[in-house]
Structure 1
Amino acid sequence: MSHPTVISDEEEDSVELYNGFGSQPISRNQMRTRKRWSFHENSKPNLVDSPLQAIPRRLSDITGVDGVHKQIDPLSELGGAQLYSTESGRLFHAGKIIIALAGLPGRGKTHLSVSLTRYLRWLGVKTHSFHLGDYRRASAEDDLTHDLFVPTPKSDKAHALREKVVNECLNDILNFFKNDKGQVAIYDAVNAKPEFRIQLHEKFSKLNIQVLFIESLVTDDSIVMKNIEEAARSSPDYKDWDYEKAYKDYSERINALAPYYQEMQSNDLEKQLSYIKFINFGERIELHNSNYGYLINKVVFYLMNGSIKSGSVFLARCYKNSLDYNFDPPLDDEGTRYAKNLTNTLIEQLKSEGKTYLEKIVPTSKPKLQRELSVDERQPALGMDGVDDNSLVIWTSVKKRTVETTQFLKEKNINVRHRIQLSQKNPGIVGSMSDEEIAEKYPDEYSQYIKDPYHYRFSRAESYHDLAIKIEPLILEMERMSGDILIIADDTILKVLYGYLLSCSCYDIPTLNFKTDEIIEIKFNAYSNTANRIKIKDFDEKVE
């Protein structure tokens, strides 16, 4: 009797590497191949041959908290910009990687771990953030003090609890790699001392898991103060706390830990470690042992565009969203009214949030920075968009009706940028047809489309996936910017942008419902983004 062959993780990766490179190349055909869009388990439902109800659907609700912390469902989820998938679920040109953060509290580590997770998941990399604070909160007891946060607590009880939560977190990371076929785990912890970092490196390196440290250092006190304020308001540690008490407690935590923290150095002790020093959240980046592979280089590239996000992204549908793809008429009278109402609603919303910077903008030939840039600081892009927290930038597609929708905002000297990447999804040969007409004229194509509307493209058309690849430069630019952004575009574009910002599964994105009479506001938060609806008011209505 023959026994099934047992394949180790390492052997599986090498088999995948061989088969991956030998598989059918990426093509521009409208039909995705089964080979390319394969899944890492045989139990994965076949999206082409399975009934429609097998595909999980997000209903029309596009508000709430993002999905960046939820467990990845290997049976139903792919990243919006994922180029291919493999039998193991891991990209075949990378490996298993743990990104271990290091740095004192208030240095933006949680924000960094969450934003990296969002970006890597969008690229189709099975990534999960493991926040040591989550494990601590699950086990914490009321009588423990800030002694719990120092590397060598005086209290035996605090020491035992530290050991417990660290072991639980690291065990979950190992389980993520072994049983969930994860590719990148992000370990969000202080990792204050060299001996802890070396132990972590040795533990995972023995398991053939690459270890990369990202140390977040801050020399600008204003950044630390801003992070403390944000933590006091939104950290899960301070839920239902009075703000002043939360601010004081978090400051005391930092002061208790600061004497124990040792910065990473390329000395004999840590010379074998690979690490990135992320200084003042992207003002300067230093690499050590930087012989990185493809995936870690993507991380480095992302860090080069990183910033501590503030402000909101406002998403608004363009006027007459249903116009034929090839039509490009200017705004009519009703469209001009829509533009005015959109402008006034946005201004009213900004004022309700305590943002009065629009009142301070004066006509000038060149926008001025509210602060001087240092010589060492990374210089902003042309036009200096998004350098200041108190700023607004508008992005539109190049269609006349989106460009002209900004006319009343332009009068207020607000920067407007027209992005060709924001052009709506090209529907191809079915552009002017209803679903019923498509089903009747192209029944086979329609049946394939309805099973996977995100990846399928009709003849001479684009898919949502094509849009996701196209807008990646804008996503990176958005990550670099601070302040508020208003994006006016076709709803096909808004769906994909929303899918990235709220960490949606690609199968949910085509079903998102953007209404013409609403603005969607997405607010950035260190732990998770949130979205809410803003009704566009009719300011021409007469009040009795």
Structure 2
Amino acid sequence: MSAILSDDDELFNGLGSEEVITKPVPGNHMARTRKRWSSGSADKRPKIVNKLIDGVHTDVATDYISPGQLYSTESGRLFHAGKILIVLVGLPATSKTLLSVAITRYTRWLGVRTRSFHVSEYRREKARTEKGGVPNDYYSAKPGSQEGGNYRREILRKMTKDMTEFFDEKRGQLAVYDALNILKEDRSSIEKVFGKMNIKVLFIESVVTDPLLQKRNVDLALKSADYKGWALQDAEQDYMSRLKANKHLYEEMSPEENLSYVKYINFGEKLTVNNNNYGYLINKIVFFLMNLRDKRGRVYFARCGTSVKDKYIDDEELNEEGLNYSKVLTDLVLDLVNKRRLDANDGTSAVPRTPSAASLKERSKSPLIATSASLKRTESTGNALYRQPASGDGVDDDSFVVWTAPRKRTYDTAKYFAELGISVRQRNQLQQLHPGVVADMSDHEVKEKFTSEYQEYLRDPYHFRFSRAESYHDLAVRMEPLLLEMERMCGDILIIGHESTLRVLYGYLMAFSCSEIPRLTFTRDELIEISFGPFENKVNRIPIVMD
């Protein structure tokens, strides 16, 4: 055994280790001797994807591999969890659709073949196909007319048939059933039907008692496809009639029903679990719900500024061009956030109306416009009847936080935000993908020096890793805690990072597969803005215009 040359060598290599061989060893360095992915999961060359469209509602192909997936099986099911049906329970305007989409997005990221089944989509499809009107009493959990009852039963039968087919024929593992389900007899029937198929059933009851949250849910519902072309007053009256028709019928879930359920109050303000004995995957979903919050703000993605050499090996500070980019980025993001706050503030609140085009110097006293929520919270400090100021980053919907990686040029890109008193946090998970032995090499140089490895990389750029490097899959697994932290944030977040980390975060928020993520591009002449909706996330690409 070779001798350790110094204390530093021993610290690097480990006690009693041999000297590290510095010459790279050719071959695929994926640290695995057995095949990780089943033969049915071989990743195919992807189709051209529109990176502005949320993929959370696309069908999961049988050979689909998720970005955060640790392994695959021939059955397509993971975590020894079997088949699971999540049934949402609650009145209209209780965030059920938002919950179903969020659960679908997160579990798909983990590799679970998940699909949401929304009763509203089935109803609209039936109305389009049959070209007839929907009976007025259909929206009640107990329609008064035979026509309304038949219409409702046909839709629910179709949903049950499709969910069964998803489990049996499409190798699905998790289905999310988004409907009212507010009657005990309906819930009991669902448990019996799917229990006979050896499918575990978990109910999630969404309860909203906060009037502000309920109003926001109603406002979001009025923007749905149901009310396209409607006058706002007519749409609100119609939707509130749906709520009124079901309020007196609502039977809250209780332990006496002998069902497994989660009671989810005010979108994460309080959560209780009853009779949960379904194991790891369900517990992971419950943990996700504990971190999930109603997002009022936006997520912004920006590249870091440039340095002199602009290389991975050199942890350099920003050059003059990079500093100018940082100033422009700071102005642009603050303009966007303040403009939305101005639009959101009502005319009666005493909110300071500073110009949105103010320079950094003019903004130095107050870089962000106060919102109605922040003013009310300030007025209520010390009054137990009001919600008190929160202590954590991003807990409030009017918060604004900047995340950066620890490297100098990334952190320095946010220096002007920090000078204005805005929270800037270094997150280790945002470290860029470690390139290993191919650091700072061009594609041509990699191809010349590591010919066989380069060919393997082209076949699977997401999972392949060069010697001493990370793969995108390694990066995605490393960043999972950051995804949960991002789900917990209610306000605005600006994430400044390397293109590799932005690809992974964007891939999660837009539900992309692992074959699509390495091909995403983020340039320094664009700021990416993602807004959150109950049915899908939306992307806005904003030009960054340099002086």
Identical residues among aligned pairs (%): 47
Alignment match, 2:326? 339
Deviations for 1:429-475, whole angstroms, at most 9, x for unmatched residues?
Answer: 01121111111111111111110000111010001111111111111
Q: Per the alignment, do residues 70 and 332 of structure 1 end up closer, same or farther by CA in structure 2, a change over 3 Å counting? A: same
Q: Per the alignment, do residues 283 and 37 of structure 1 end up closer, same or farther by CA in structure 2, a change over 3 Å counting? A: same
User: 1:261, 1:517 → 2: CA distance?
Assistant: 52
Indicate whether 1:165 and 2:162 are aligned: no
Q: Per the alignment, do residues 379 and 287 of structure 1 end up closer, same or farther by CA in structure 2, a change over 3 Å counting? A: farther
Indicate whether 1:108 and 2:90 are aligned: no
Q: How many residues align?
A: 492
Indicate whether 1:78 and 2:65 are aligned: yes
Shift of 1:387: 2.2
User: 2:76, 2:389 → 1: CA distance?
Assistant: 37
Q: Per the alignment, do residues 376 and 449 of structure 1 end up closer, same or farther by CA in structure 2, a change over 3 Å counting? A: farther
1:236-255 alignment, distance < 5 Å: 236-255=225-244
1:353-502 alignment, distance < 5 Å: 353-355=340-342, 371=377, 383-502=391-510
Alignment match, 2:13? none
- Are 2:89 and 2:204, in contact at CA under 8 Å, matched by a contact in 1? yes
TM-score by length of 1: 0.85
Shift of 1:93: 1.7
Q: Per the alignment, do residues 338 and 214 of structure 1 end up closer, same or farther by CA in structure 2, a change over 3 Å counting? A: same
Alignment match, 2:20? none
User: 1:172, 1:375 → 2: CA distance?
Assistant: 49
TM-score by length of 2: 0.85
Q: Per the alignment, do residues 475 and 92 of structure 1 end up closer, same or farther by CA in structure 2, a change over 3 Å counting? A: closer
Alignment match, 1:221? 211
Shift of 1:292: 2.7
Higher-Rg structure is: 2
AA matched with 1:295: L
1:62-101 alignment, distance < 5 Å: 62-63=51-52, 65-75=53-63, 77-101=64-88
Alignment match, 1:38? 38
Secondary structure of 1:99 counterpart: strand
Shift of 1:29: 4.4
Deviations for 1:89-141, whole angstroms, at most 9, x for unmatched residues?
Answer: 11152110000000001000000000000000000000000001111111236
AA matched with 1:137: R
Give the one of 142, 145, 148 matched to 1:155: 145
Q: Per the alignment, do residues 191 and 33 of structure 1 end up closer, same or farther by CA in structure 2, a change over 3 Å counting? A: farther
AA matched with 1:326: I
Alignment match, 1:526? 534
Alignment match, 1:324? 311
1:178-257 alignment, distance < 5 Å: 178-233=168-223, 235-257=224-246
- Are 2:195 and 2:201, in contact at CA under 8 Å, matched by a contact in 1? yes
Indicate whether 1:284 and 2:274 are aligned: no
AA matched with 2:294: I
User: 1:209, 1:169 → 2: CA distance?
Assistant: 16
Secondary structure of 1:277 counterpart: strand
AA matched with 1:30: M
Deviations for 1:351-398, whole angstroms, at most 9, x for unmatched residues?
Answer: 44354799789679xx989636999999998x5222222221110111
User: 1:289, 1:429 → 2: CA distance?
Assistant: 51
AA matched with 2:442: S
User: 2:386, 2:82 → 1: CA distance?
Assistant: 33
Secondary structure of 2:324 counterpart: helix
Give the one of 301, 305, 310 matched to 1:315: 301
1:43-62 alignment, distance < 5 Å: 46-47=42-43, 54-58=44-48, 62=51
Which deviates further from its counterpart, 505-514 or 437-446?
437-446
- Are 1:324 and 1:432, in contact at CA under 8 Å, matched by a contact in 2? yes
User: 1:376, 1:276 → 2: CA distance?
Assistant: 27
User: 2:107, 2:228 → 1: CA distance?
Assistant: 29
Give the one of 241, 251, 262 matched to 2:251: 262
Q: Per the alignment, do residues 188 and 375 of structure 1 end up closer, same or farther by CA in structure 2, a change over 3 Å counting? A: farther
Secondary structure of 1:390 counterpart: coil
- Are 1:283 and 1:378, in contact at CA under 8 Å, matched by a contact in 2? no
Alignment match, 1:15? none
User: Which ranges in structure 1 are unaligned for 5 or more consecutive residues?
Assistant: 1-27, 48-53
User: 2:275, 2:385 → 1: CA distance?
Assistant: 23
Shift of 1:226: 1.0
Deviations for 1:294-326, whole angstroms, at most 9, x for unmatched residues?
Answer: 100011100110111221110001123883222
Secondary structure of 2:87 counterpart: strand
Q: Per the alignment, do residues 92 and 472 of structure 1 end up closer, same or farther by CA in structure 2, a change over 3 Å counting? A: closer
Secondary structure of 2:263 counterpart: strand
User: 2:32, 2:353 → 1: CA distance?
Assistant: 51
Shift of 1:167: 0.5
Shift of 1:424: 0.3
Shift of 1:187: 0.3
Secondary structure of 1:353 counterpart: helix
- Are 2:81 and 2:278, in contact at CA under 8 Å, matched by a contact in 1? no
User: 1:363, 1:92 → 2: CA distance?
Assistant: 50
Secondary structure of 2:247 counterpart: helix
User: 2:84, 2:470 → 1: CA distance?
Assistant: 33
